[in-house]
Structure 1
Amino acid sequence: MTTAVAAPRHGDLRTTEHSLNRAFQRYAVWVRVLVVLPCAGIGVMVTPDPYLPAAIAVGALALIWCGFSLRWLRQRPPEPVVAAAAALVVLVAGLTQQWTGPDSFNGWAFAIASITAIGIQYELPNRPWLALAVSVTAAIAYTAGTALPSTKPDDLLLGVRLLAETGLSRLAYVVIRSRARAADRSIARAAEQRKAASVAAARRAAEREYLATLHDTASATLLMVSLGVAGTNERSRAWLPERAGKDVAILTALTSAPAERGPATLGSPGAEVDLVALLADAIEHPALAVEHRLPPSLLLPATPGLAIAHGVAEAISNVARHASVRTATLRVDSIVGGHGGGLVVELADEGRGFDPNAVAEHRRGLAGSIVGRMAAAGGSAEIESAPGEGTTVRWSWHG
């Protein structure tokens, strides 16, 4: 099933269309200014003396308009104000042709009308009807101003030319805008795909965390019960209810956390845990005594801290079941104080050992609960063992 992806809203500052419109507005204003100022200046200079006062007045109005247009690039007024200013200038320049030049064709008046009719489509990209009104005003004003002193058909056709230029300018903008909107839709679609992939990855990580935690808690406890380890003496009988309660608490917290939170489901993002407290709980086992060298406390981010603690608990359970020893040694070496630096946690026993490469792939204890979980937390776990030479499991994390 496919899902329709909406492009970002056109007013959104992050859209390609918005950036395109802003660029068009700047370039349209600058192009108009660079056309109007020289044309008005040259027009005034070549105007005969009897027409000079009116030409100077129209040229001054064009100069003021250009100045305001450049200022509005930084502090833009409402779009009707921009349109009204443009309409005023083209009206004055078009209707005063009989007073600003002796010829039927007033070149600089036509240049002002033409560049305004074209450029206003890009200055007001989101107000097409307002831009069209300015262009029609320019065409009518120029045609009317030309018709007053002369009725030559060629001169009157210039007004039609202005309308044609307006249509072509708007069409060009619409074509370019359609490509910008297509780019926005592509960006939105890619963002949705990244979001979906991120959510799917988080859910897979949560599923892996759940399976690993289930293996480390309830499954491990039930296995010890089935093997008769829990219940052989007074210590183990007292240990079993407490262990079962802790298993239930951990699984309840795990299943009630949102899937999107990923592996650190027992702590909010950015939370810290005391690794020493977690390890003190992890080494409690009815069939194994763990000698340890632990600092008073050691704060870590929740994700690596929980990964190490769960891994240690799983490794201790493996030692109790397979190593044929009654003791193991746990030590923690912090690097640069642990918090913000790194640490190494090492669990060693002198049991019968095994070949790590010969462990079946479906066994989750080593691959999932120890190596995989630590890798997902941004650290690493190494297992050194050989038949008859004991086993050392080493967790490393660098902040």
Structure 2
Amino acid sequence: MPHVLLEVRLLATMSRLAGPIRGAGVVLISLFGAFSVSSPLGWALFAFVAVTSVADFRLPRVALPVGFVRVVVLSVVLGGAGGQWVLTVLTTTLITWQWQWPPRVTVPATVALLAVQVATTGPGVLVRAVLEPVLARVAHELLRRSSRRVDVLRERAAEQNRAAAVVLDRGRREREYLALLHDTAAATFLMAAHGGDPQAVAAQARRDLVLLAERDNAQGTVDLGAALTAVARDSEVPVRVSAEVVPVPAGVALAFVRAARELLANVERHAGAATAELTVSREGRGALVVIRDDGRGFVLDDVPGHRRGLRGSVVQRLRAAGGSAVVDSAPGRGTTARLGWPADD
């Protein structure tokens, strides 16, 4: 499960490092021990420890029994003369066992080693030999629980981020659908309410159904120039078109088509323009669409907030597709709309 990833990594790292730490530790301890004993027996035991430490580095499956035998040999051969050498090797072994194996393995092995140590050197070693591995096990458990807690918190944060992303996407889809309804059904109802030609209203309604049916089904690549040329051809206002071949994702092209259709519909309904101009060109790896008219123009700040034409059907639609839309207009100067989309690198 995702929420235990950090815990698993931590335990795996501790288990992987425990053997090399134990092997290096007992070799270094035995080197000083051999110097302190300063006898052929001491150097022979050092060589024995160095050879058996290979299991700690390379053979983790047999490292526990090898470590057990190593401590028993040192305890039996040196006895009380081993002093700190035997005791330090013992505690190093017991501590690193706690990092590498579960209690069901380490507890019986630890008890057996302590019994051997008491039999060879007496009970004086018990306090240190018991306390240090217990503290090592407690530290191990605290680290494990802390890592599990961190994983749980990270998973909860990820769930909250996913939920927030779903809410944002749902809001975007709702805004897009409202804009689409404005462009299709609302415009068709307005045409019918003003006594439009029944055949024209029926044709427009069929186009609306096609657009509504294709919602959220935009895939592939589309030539934006050809798509917007077709939109200009359907406009009631004469449109001069200058279009390059600009391939864009179908979803982006659909946003441009709907935005351009809304802008040309506004020219027809409100601008009183004799002509309009539409240009489609590349801008870097992206696309730039400019729609101009020579109509009466308007003041942008005077557009009522409930009018969704420019805001919902043009600006927000392009923004949702990863692009941008800027409309510039003034009374008597016509209107210019610049629609841009920067391709992803």
Indicate whether the TM-score tops 0.5: yes
Choose which of 78, 82, 96 in structure 2 pairs with 1:100. 78
- Normalising by the residue count of structure 2, what TM-score does the alignment of the two structures yield? 0.89
SS at match of 1:177: helix
Deviation at 1:32, TM superposition (A): 2.7
In the alignment, is the contact (CA less than 8 A) between 2:246 and 2:281 conserved in 1? Answer: no
Higher helix share: 2
TM-superposition CA deviations, 1:48-82 (whole Å, max 9, x none): 75xx44x555433321232332235xxxx44xx33
SS at match of 1:8: helix
Identity %: 33
Please state if 1:282 is matched with 2:248.
Answer: no
In the alignment, is the contact (CA less than 8 A) between 1:352 and 1:389 conserved in 2? Answer: yes
TM-superposition CA deviations, 1:186-239 (whole Å, max 9, x none): 1111111111111111111111111111111222222223234x428xxxx3x5
Give 1:320's aligned amino acid.
Answer: E
SS at match of 2:191: helix
The CA distance in 1 between the partners of 2:162 and 2:63, in whole Å, is 41
Give the equivalent residue in structure 2 for 1:145: 120
Kindly tell me the number of residue pairs found equivalent between the two proteins.
Answer: 343
Deviation at 1:365, TM superposition (A): 0.4
Decide which moves more: 158-167 or 26-35. 26-35
Give the equivalent residue in structure 1 for 2:218: 267
Deviation at 1:395, TM superposition (A): 0.8
SS at match of 1:283: helix
Distance 1:334 1:41, change over 3 A: closer
Please state if 1:128 is matched with 2:67.
Answer: no
1:161-240 aligned at under 5 Å gives the runs 161-228=128-195, 230-231=196-197, 237=199, 239-240=200-201
The CA distance in 1 between the partners of 2:201 and 2:269, in whole Å, is 16
Choose which of 72, 80, 83 in structure 1 pairs with 2:64. 83
Deviation at 1:358, TM superposition (A): 0.6
Give 2:240's aligned amino acid.
Answer: E
Cα root mean square deviation, aligned: 2.5
Give 2:227's aligned amino acid.
Answer: L
Choose which of 144, 154, 158 in structure 1 pairs with 2:125. 158
Give the equivalent residue in structure 1 for 2:54: 67
TM-superposition CA deviations, 1:135-166 (whole Å, max 9, x none): 223212212232xxxxxxxx313135322322
Please state if 1:331 is matched with 2:279.
Answer: yes
- Normalising by the residue count of structure 1, what TM-score does the alignment of the two structures yield? 0.78
In the alignment, is the contact (CA less than 8 A) between 2:229 and 2:241 conserved in 1? Answer: no
Distance 1:221 1:380, change over 3 A: same
Unaligned 5+ runs, structure 2: none
SS at match of 1:392: strand
Please state if 1:20 is matched with 2:10.
Answer: yes
The CA distance in 2 between the partners of 1:273 and 1:315, in whole Å, is 20
SS at match of 1:315: helix
